[in-house]
Structure 1
Amino acid sequence: MMMLLLSLPHGAVMASSGHRDLIPLQPMIDRTAPGEVIELASGRYSGPVTIDKNITIQGDPTVIVVNAEATSTIMIRSDGVKLSGFTIEHDTNEQTAAIQVEGKNSEITDLHIQTQGYGMIIRNSSQATIQRNNITWAGSDSASSGQKGNGIDLYNSHDSFIEANEITGMRDGIYLENSRKSIVQNNRLLHTRYGIHCMYIDGSSVMDNTGEENMTGAMIMGVKNTVISGNSFRKQSTNVHSQGILLYDVHQSSIHNNVVEGNRVGMNIAESSGNEIHDNAVLRNFVGIQLVLAEANEFTRNQLVSNVIEASALDSPNNVLMENYWDSFQGLDLNRDGISEISYAINPFYEQLVSRNSAYQLFFQSPGMVFLSELFTEGREQWTTDKFPRMSMDTESDLHKSVENATDSNVVWLFGLILLGMATFIIIYMGVLRK
């Protein structure tokens, strides 16, 4: 493989702003033979460009490719293209991207992308490797999600590997549609609509990703034979539809060892069946688990701690709930095997009441609402029930530390309130003595 070291050439063109020179990048690409490497020197280069042969372009963050035209900044139409290390400023709000890939076996690594459109668009491709890139929305702070593009957007692109990218402020962080056998792993998603959005994918994995302050951490829809594991989605609570993980029309998949904390809804499972949902930590959400038209799922060994509403179930028959830990449940363990002899039934009273008249949400957890809920026993034999709830948390679980942290923070909060109360009492008492 040959390497071309390209420094600042003569004849650089003037940028449209008139303030900086832009170095033409397309002529460099045109002069490069297949298999060669272009090593870009520090400077600002002009896009858009098209790559139609298997070359490598690399640089460092001081290498900046700029484009304000209504087309993608770098269009890849060949197999085996590699991009690495440099910065792209995609300054157009059209349905275009900093990078558009239409070839196979592409490798896109360590790029810094600032975009007013999409970050990357991958179409009708396979075996793309997308690693350690930073993609940030560079448009108006007031732009709605509909005015933004996705960070990484795949359609009909299979066997892709998307790892260790950080995506901030885009519409959806990572979007996959009609894409089989892809791996989405160890990415960080911030301030997006959906951190990870999967539609109609098969045989894929979404593992060890983290998301904070998105509208929904992971929106998994129309999916089968997929693994959702080891992810952490926290603080999805700014929207009435905010959720940690939404499973909609998901079948024969495994959802395990995830942490959903501080969301409006921790896990929303709708119109889904045949899934194994186990060993997840559901912490400090408004609603921990929500089942709607969900049938024949196995829900086992999950830990629900400090949720306002631990679970709700509506029209969700034949789900198997076993050995979950519900921190508000008062069980009875006569044989000391760690499993309660008393089952835990999810009371649908509040869910049914609110579905008929949303105004009743105002009375949530009021004494009257709690009293009515305890009186409601209609159709109890059909309520979703954990027949063998755990009496304590699973101390051997990798999630135990997260659960303990949630519990410890509640203790700290309670201790703070006690101190505040004592201080208030002392102030009042000393005021009385002075009088």
Structure 2
Amino acid sequence: MLSEKVRLAIGQFMRNARMHLNMSNNINRQVTSWSILTLWLFVAMLIQLLFMSGNASAASKEQSFIPLQPIINAMNPGEELTLKPGMYLGPVTIDKSISLLGDSSVMIVSTDTSSIQSASTNSPESTINIRADGVKLQGFTILHQHSTPTAAIEVEANHAEIKDIHIQTQGFGILARDANEGIFRENDITWTGSATASSSQKGNGIDLYNAHRNHIEGNEIRGMLDGIYMENSREATVKGNTLLHTRYGIHCMYMDGSYVLDNVGEDNITGAMIMGVKNITVSGNSFRKQSENVHSQGILLYDVHQSSIVNNSVEGNRVGMNIAESTDNDVRGNEVLRNFIGFQLVLAEGNQLHQNQFISNVIDASAVDSQDNEMSSNYWDSFRGLDLNGDGVSEMAYGINPFYEQLISRNSAYQLFFQSPGMVFLSELFTEGKENWSTDQSPLMTMTMEPQQQPGTTNDTIPVWVIGVILLCIAACIMIYSGGLRK
């Protein structure tokens, strides 16, 4: 839209032009047509120039950002501010206990260029740097466009609350360093860098180091290196998060006394990588479809001790659950469904595996150099036991036959004969060292509970024999009808 002054100027110019033409006509009727055409072309060029100037001014206003640091500097400790709709320029540093609130109409943007222009240092920073206790951020969007290892939010203080923030990042999502008792809840963190970027070029969604008693709940993280990464941290609670298309959905290293509860991971390389920890509870989680990578697993326990792995569901993975070099863990009540290998034990000793269900796995379980693991009351759908007293428990034990693993470890080419009749026959004949096999002494004859339904599936299916009877009746009717016609 042209401004009022521009429209008045154009109108005045047109009136003067008409007066000039009238005077010229009265003085000399022999004005050539090309002179008039030249005049009108000049007028058109002037109008176009003014119009382009108006558009450039409007575009400049649309691209303008509101500096956020002066707004923060003007706030008092303990003050709460709801940001007005608009685009705000980062990076910023918060060094006082304040609350910044917003909604979807508020976006804080930081790029490599804006970082250098607006910060006192020439090195890029995180978009929001929290360096005071008790800071709260809620509701707005952060666009973090740094290719360097910085974050949308970096926390270096205690009692931070980061809630309902929509983060689009080319680095890390949230970094917490020496930051205790924080709350990170209901945030949405998405990788927006190159779609062809390798894992090493990405950052983690939520990354904790030497940060204790933090609560991470209800976040959705997509496309990052690791969804939630925690190292050298104690007493963390990770609950109800959704982790998609990452390397490790949840990655725990060197932790003690923490909880991983009710999380969902899909299409990651590994759903949960639990490494070098003790006294951790992993319960109620669902990890599905980790199968695209040769190292894909639902849950990997490596060097884990005195921990509880209970009531989880691992489905459709290359390996459902892998316990390696781990001792004295309680693995109970887990559903291991439709994996290539349901369960692996590698150099694992003294673990208790009770009341787990192994259903529709290509290979139920494998055990390599694992001894003194107590296995009982698990359900193996491929096992045909014998229940003489009707108590639902087989009097025959179920031993995990190591024949196939030992064979392919010597010559990997034998994988080509997996589940061939000859391989199955040789496996059944193999009994060497059977007294040392990992064995379920009292396997269950029936499932303790129905496996969870996948989305879009239902139990209301028609039995195969019913369909067969219907088809048979239809065929009989057709034959009778055809015979009647011939008569």
Q: Distance in 1 between matches of 2:267 and 2:99?
A: 36
Q: Which amino acid aligns with 2:99?
A: T
What residue number does 1:349 align with?
403
Q: Distance in 1 between matches of 2:62 and 2:231?
A: 42
Is 1:52 equivalent to 2:95 in the alignment? yes
SS in 2 for 1:21: coil
What residue number does 1:79 align with?
133
Q: Which amino acid aligns with 2:343?
A: I
Are the counterparts in 1 of residues 335 and 451 from structure 2 also a CA contact under 8 Å?
Answer: no
Given the superposition, is the C-alpha separation of residues 17 and 311 from structure 1 closer, same or farther in structure 2, using an over 3 Å criterion?
A: farther
Are the counterparts in 1 of residues 86 and 106 from structure 2 also a CA contact under 8 Å?
Answer: yes
SS in 1 for 2:65: strand
Match of 2:68 among 8, 17, 25: 25
Is 1:107 equivalent to 2:161 in the alignment? yes
CA apart distance, 1:356: 2.0
Alignment TM-score, normalising by the size of structure 2: 0.79
Is 1:244 equivalent to 2:287 in the alignment? no
Q: Which amino acid aligns with 1:293?
A: L
Is 1:67 equivalent to 2:110 in the alignment? yes
Given the superposition, is the C-alpha separation of residues 298 and 159 from structure 1 closer, same or farther in structure 2, using an over 3 Å criterion?
A: same
Match of 2:248 among 168, 188, 194: 194
The 5 Å alignment of 1:181-220 reads: 181-220=235-274
What residue number does 2:23 align with?
none
Given the superposition, is the C-alpha separation of residues 239 and 114 from structure 1 closer, same or farther in structure 2, using an over 3 Å criterion?
A: same
Q: Which amino acid aligns with 2:154?
A: Q
What residue number does 1:338 align with?
392
What residue number does 2:427 align with?
373
Q: Distance in 2 between matches of 1:186 and 1:410?
A: 27
What residue number does 1:89 align with?
143
Q: May I ask how many residue pairs the two structures share in their alignment?
A: 403
Moved more, 362-371 or 303-312: 362-371
The sequence identity of aligned pairs, in percent, is 63
Deviations 1:317-352 (CA, angstroms, capped at 9, x unpaired): 000000000001000011111110000000001111
What residue number does 1:315 align with?
369
Given the superposition, is the C-alpha separation of residues 306 and 166 from structure 1 closer, same or farther in structure 2, using an over 3 Å criterion?
A: same
What residue number does 1:9 align with?
none
- The one of the two structures with greater contact order (alpha-carbon pairs below 8 A, sep at least 6) is 1
CA apart distance, 1:144: 1.1
Q: Which amino acid aligns with 2:101?
A: Q
Deviations 1:199-249 (CA, angstroms, capped at 9, x unpaired): 000000000000000000000000100100000000000101000000000
Q: Distance in 1 between matches of 2:276 and 2:355?
A: 25
Are the counterparts in 1 of residues 339 and 361 from structure 2 also a CA contact under 8 Å?
Answer: yes
Match of 1:302 among 345, 356, 361: 356
Is 1:260 equivalent to 2:326 in the alignment? no
What residue number does 1:145 align with?
199
CA apart distance, 1:251: 0.2
Deviations 1:235-275 (CA, angstroms, capped at 9, x unpaired): 00010100000000000000000000000000000000000
Given the superposition, is the C-alpha separation of residues 18 and 197 from structure 1 closer, same or farther in structure 2, using an over 3 Å criterion?
A: farther
Q: Which amino acid aligns with 1:263?
A: N
Given the superposition, is the C-alpha separation of residues 72 and 113 from structure 1 closer, same or farther in structure 2, using an over 3 Å criterion?
A: same
Match of 2:324 among 270, 278, 281: 270
The structure carrying a bigger strand percent of its residues is 1
CA apart distance, 1:411: 11
What residue number does 2:216 align with?
162
Are the counterparts in 1 of residues 135 and 161 from structure 2 also a CA contact under 8 Å?
Answer: yes
Match of 2:285 among 195, 218, 231: 231
Q: Distance in 1 between matches of 2:363 and 2:461?
A: 21
Match of 2:226 among 172, 177, 181: 172
Consecutive unaligned residues in structure 1, runs of 5 or more: 1-13, 427-435
Given the superposition, is the C-alpha separation of residues 42 and 19 from structure 1 closer, same or farther in structure 2, using an over 3 Å criterion?
A: closer
What residue number does 2:81 align with?
38
Given the superposition, is the C-alpha separation of residues 245 and 410 from structure 1 closer, same or farther in structure 2, using an over 3 Å criterion?
A: farther
What residue number does 1:6 align with?
none
Q: Distance in 1 between matches of 2:403 and 2:460?
A: 30
Larger Rg: 2
CA apart distance, 1:367: 1.1
What residue number does 2:16 align with?
none
Question: How large is the RMSD of aligned CA atoms in angstroms?
Answer: 2.4
Match of 2:437 among 370, 383, 389: 383
CA apart distance, 1:361: 1.5
The 5 Å alignment of 1:280-299 reads: 280-299=334-353
Q: Distance in 2 between matches of 1:375 and 1:152?
A: 51
CA apart distance, 1:357: 2.1
Is 1:116 equivalent to 2:173 in the alignment? no
